[in-house]
Amino acid sequence: MSDTGSISISVENKIATITFSHPASNSFPSILLQKLTDELNKISSNSVVNVVILQSEGNAFCAGASFDELLAVNDFETGKKFFSGFANVINAMRKCSKIIIGKVQGKAVGGGVGLIAACDFAFAYQDAAIKLSEIAIGIGPFVIEPAVSRKIGKIAMAEMTLQPNIWQTADWAKEKGLYADIFDSQDEVNESTIKLAKKLASYNPDALTEIKKVFWQGTENWDELLYERAAISGKLVLSDFTKEALRQFKK
């Protein structure tokens, strides 16, 4: 695995497993976000695949956007493009013709919470707490907000956003609807995810595709909305407040 991380794909019994990895707690630099977007688009038209499992390696599920890359943003266009990376992935997930099951083995921050929310279904380990830390560094979870609010509602979204230093427990996330279920061991998470994927893979793929369209009705404006949100973040990341907050955070 390189410093830019990796994306690996395996297909077996009509189930595609996408595994992402990065040495910085599975954070996403732009190049890795683009790879994930490309793979999701390919899988969407792959007739051999009926179901997708999205997972990561290591103890953390996903630390969100690459902090080093965030620090390097110094103009609006670069900032907008950087934040559009997660917009691309979320749109690819919602438009993918396959049901996507998230397997969440550990904590998720920021964009990582967005990835979970963009899954059609998610199982998690009991320690898979979540946090939205963006407002503390002068930006906000603008791009992922539509996906997260769709799952947990605006009130819970506000609770997370306005308490950027507080980890919400996996139990809280399940209660709000982000996780379908949580388990006491990683083995149980694995077994339950595979069991569901196998069951779904045995169903009529056309029916799965059509029901997914129903699940995501009302999100058609995300093709524009998420990029408008990326522009907000791209502007805010250039502020003196954010630059100083990032420097302090880096220390």
CA 184 to mean position of chain CA atoms: 22
For residues 112 and 64, the answer to whether their CB atoms sit within 8 Å is yes
Q: Which residue has the higher pLDDT, 118 or 74?
A: 118
Could you say which architecture CATH assigns to the domain 6-201?
Alpha-Beta Complex (3.90)
What are the residue ranges spanned by the domains of the chain?
6-201
Query: Above 80 in pLDDT, residue 233?
Result: yes
DSSP string, 69-128: HHHH--SHHHHHHHHHHHHHHHHHHHH-SSEEEEEE-S-EETHHHHHHHHSSEEEEETT-
Structure tokens at 28: 């996403």
Cα dihedral sign for 123, 23, 139, 225? negative
pLDDT at 2 over 70: no
Q: Residue 151 is encoded by which pair of tokens?
A: 């799952």
**Bridge partner list, 15:** 12, 51
Residues 14-55 pLDDT 10s = 999 999 999 999 999 999 999 999 999 999 999 999 999 999
Environment class of residue 20 by beta-carbon count within 10 Å: exposed (0-12), middle (13-18) or buried (19+)?
buried
- Would you state the structure tokens that stand for residue 150, as one six-digit string? 């769709």
Residue-level pLDDT at 1: 41
The whole model's pTM is what? 0.96
Q: What percent of the chain has pLDDT over 90?
A: 89
Closest C-alpha among 189, 131, 136 to residue 160: 131
- Residue 233, phi-psi category: left (phi > 0), alpha (psi -120 to 50), beta (remainder): alpha
- Asked if pLDDT for residue 249 goes beyond 90, the answer is no
- Please answer whether residues 158 and 93 qualify as being in contact, where contact means their C-beta atoms are separated by less than 8 angstroms: no
Each residue's pLDDT tens digit, 198-222:
999 999 999 999 999 999 999 999 9
Contact 55, 99 (CB under 8 A): no
Letter string b/e over residues 67-95, b meaning 16 or more CB atoms within 10 A of that residue's CB: bebbeebeeeebbbebbbbbbbbbbbbbb
Q: How does pLDDT run across 87-139, given as a tens digit for each residue?
A: 999 999 999 999 999 999 999 999 999 999 999 999 999 999 999 999 999 99
Residues sharing a CB contact under 8 Å with residue 188, sequence separation 6 or more, in sequence order = none
Q: Kindly report the CA angle at 64 between 175 and 23, in degrees rounded to 5?
A: 120
